[in-house]
Amino acid sequence: MRGSNRGMSLFRTIGIATAALMAILTAGGTQAQNAAKPDPAKVEAGENVYNDYCQTCHGQNLVSTGQTFDLRKLKPEERERFLRAVLMGKGQMPPWKGVLEDAQIDAVWAYVMSRGG
Ligand code: HEC
């Protein structure tokens, strides 16, 4: 009797552990997918913002003509650097804070990451 009870609870523990592991794996998988492949709708929105506000200086399709920083050089871990430069401006580049909404800047980042990184 005691033996079979113990067996049951062990079985339940494994069940819970498996569920927890599955949840972690699923969450991790989604995150990895996001990093590699940004949301296409967001990338497209970012491309539009880029074409309207950034392209004149940073070049068509993110390809810099050499006068400005080539945004494709930005690495995924340089999001902070990107945000700081875009919000505060840098050198000849004006600050975009107040001109663009956070969501628009975030979309441009997704666009940049879809091309470079
Ligand atoms: C008026 C021209 C101009 C426009 C428009 C412009 N930039 Fe720039 N941008 C520059 C120049 C010039 C630099 C190089 C600044 C420097 O290093 O002195 C630069 C640099 C950058 C950098 C790199 C900063 C670093 O860390 O070295 C980022 C990121 C950037 N721009 C993003 C953007 C985004 C996003 C937009 C559109 C919202 C945009 N820029 C629009 C001229 C422009």
Describe the crossing of helices 102-115 and 40-53 by its angle, rounded to 10 degrees.
Answer: 100
112 ligand 1 Cβ < 6 A? no
81 Cα nearest atom in ligand 1: 26
Ligand 1 center from residue 114 Cα (angstroms): 18
Q: What's the mean pLDDT in 82-99?
A: 97
Q: Is there an atom of ligand 1 within 6 Å of 108 CB? A: yes
| Averaged pLDDT, 52-80 | 95
Model-level pTM? 0.77
Q: What is the pLDDT of residues 10-43, one digit of tens each?
A: 667 666 666 665 565 555 544 444 455 779 999 9
Q: What is the pLDDT of residue 105?
A: 98
